[in-house]
Structure 1
Amino acid sequence: MTSLRARDLMTPDVVTVPPETPVLAIARLLADRGISAVPVVNAEGKAVGIVTEADLIRRLAGEDDARPGWFASLFGNQQRDAERYARTHGVVASEIMTTGLVTVDPDMLASKVAHLMEDKGIRRVLVTQDGRLKGIVSRADLLRALVAPPPEQGELSDDRLRRAVMAAMKREPWADTFYTLVDVKDGIVEFHGFSRSAAVQRGLRVLAENVPGVKGVRDDTQPMPAYLFASA
C-alpha cells in the first residue's frame, strides 16, 4: 500500500447529482444503488457538496423538531438556527448537503489519505483535480488496498479489475450491483449472488469481457427469488 495513490484506490465513475435534485430523489438513488453518499456537482463539473445518509436522516428527523418557545428564542443563535432549519427542512440537494468538503489530489499517497480520513473522522474523501471531481475513495477502498496482493509486472491487479467491472456496472441501469456480487481471481471475473434474468447474465458477461485485462468470466449467479424480485 506504500506506493499506492488516491488515483489507484478511487472509484472513478461516481454517481453525482446537480444542486437542484429533490431530496426524495436522492434518497431513492442511494437506496437503489446501495450507496451511502452522493457528491453534488455544478454545471461546470465542480464538486460543491455531498449528500450522505446522515444528511438525509437529519432531514427526516428535523421534520419532528419542536419549535423553540419565544423566551428560548431570545438566547438562540439566529444564524446557526437558520442554517440548521434550512438543512433539516430543505427540499433539494443544495439545501441539505454538507459543504465542508474534504478533497485530495489524485497523486496523494494512500497512507496520507488514510491518515486524513482518520484525523477528520470521515468515511470518504473526494478526489479532485482543478476543482473537478475525478473519483471518490472510501474506507472500503482503503481496506481492499491493504489486503490486495501486489500486482504482477505488466498486469492489472485483481482488485483494480474488480473496481473497473463495478464501475462499468454502475454505468448500466440494468446491471444490479446490490444483489449481484463481483470477485476477481487471477484475472477471472466471477459473478455471485442473484440476477434478474438470463438477458442480464449475458449482458454482465459481455460487460466484463470488455474490461481491459480480464482473462475470463465465470457466472455463478442464481435466479432472483420472488420475494427479492418484489422488493427490488
Structure 2
Amino acid sequence: MQGLRARDLMTPDVVTVPPDTPVTAIARLLAERGISAVPVTEADGTLRGIVTEADLIRRLAGEEDEPPGWLGSLFADPEALADRYARTHGLTADEVMTEQVVTVGPDETAQRIAHIMEERGIRRVVVTEGGRLRGIVSRADLLHALIAPPQPESAELSDERIRRAVLAAMRREPWVDTFYTMVEVKDGVVTFHGFRRSDAVQRALRVLAENVPGVRKVEDQTRPVPAFIYVAS
C-alpha cells in the first residue's frame, strides 16, 4: 500500500440521497444495490451525513422501546432521550442519519485510513474536499490495495542500506532488544543472530524485516534468552 492515497482507493461513483428521502426508500436502495451505507448530500454535493445499516436497524429496534419509569426518568438525560426518539422514529434521511461522519481528504494515505478504521471500529471513511463528497473508501478497497502488485524499485538497494533500514525500524519498536539481536544482510537476505525474548518477538522481527524495501528473504538464527541474561521489559 506504499504511496497509495485516498484518491487512488476510493469509489468515486457513490450512490447518494437527498435529506428528505424516506427511510423506506433508503432501506430498499441498500437492499437492491447490495451496499451497507449511503451518504446524504445537498444538491451541490455538500455532505450532510450518512445513513448506514446500523442506523436503520436502530430505528427498527426503537419500535420496541418503552418509556422510562418514574424512577428512571429522574436520572434520564432529556437530550439523549430526545435524540434517540428522533432517530428511532424518523421518517426521512436527515432524521435518522449519522451526522458525525468520519472523513478524510483525497491525499490521505492508505496507512492512515487503515489506522482510522481500526481505531474507530468503522467499515468505511468518506472522502471529501471542501466539504463536498468525492468518494468512499471501504475496508474492501483497502484489501484490494493490500494485494495489489508492488511497484518496482527504481534501483536495487545495497545490502548495507537494507541493513541500516532494518536496524532503524528495530530501534523504533520498544519490543526489540537491539543489544542482544544482531542483523546481517547478504544478497537481500536478512539474517537475525543473537537472542530473542519470546516467540512473539521472533515472529514480529520477521514481519518487521519483510516490510523493509529490498528484502528478499528473512532467516532467523536467534535463540531464546538464557536465564543468566537479564532483558529489561
TM-score > 0.5 by shorter chain: yes
Q: What does residue 36 of structure 2 align with?
A: 36
Deviations 1:175-205 (A, max 9, x none): xxxxxxxxxxxxxxxxxxxxxxxxxxxxxxx
Query: Which residue of structure 2 aligns with residue 4 of structure 1?
Result: 4
Task: Write the distance in 1 (CA, Å) between the matches of 2:84 and 2:17.
Answer: 22
Instruction: Tell me what 1:146 maps to.
Output: 146
Q: Deviations over 1:51-96 (max 9, x none)?
A: 0000000000001111222332122100010001101111100111
**Equivalence for 2:228:** none
Aligned partner of 2:65 in structure 1 is: 65
Percentage identity across aligned positions? 69
SS at match of 1:3: coil
Distance 1:22 1:68 in 2: 28
CA distance in 1, matches of 2:7, 2:55: 27
The one-letter amino acid of 1:38's match is V
Residue of structure 2 equivalent to 1:84? 84
**Cα RMSD after superposing both structures:** 1.2
* Whole-angstrom distance in 2 between the partners of 1:74 and 1:110: 47
Report the CA distance between 1:151 and its aligned residue.
Answer: 6.6
What is the letter of the counterpart of residue 30 of structure 1? L
State the secondary structure of the residue aligned to 2:133: strand
Rounded to whole Å, the distance in 1 between the matches of 2:71 and 2:3 is 59
Q: How many residues align?
A: 152
TM-score norm. by structure 2 comes to 0.63
- TM (norm. structure 1) is 0.64
* Amino acid paired to 2:18: P
Partner of 2:128: 128
Give the corresponding residue for 2:179: none
3-state SS, counterpart of residue 114 of structure 1: helix
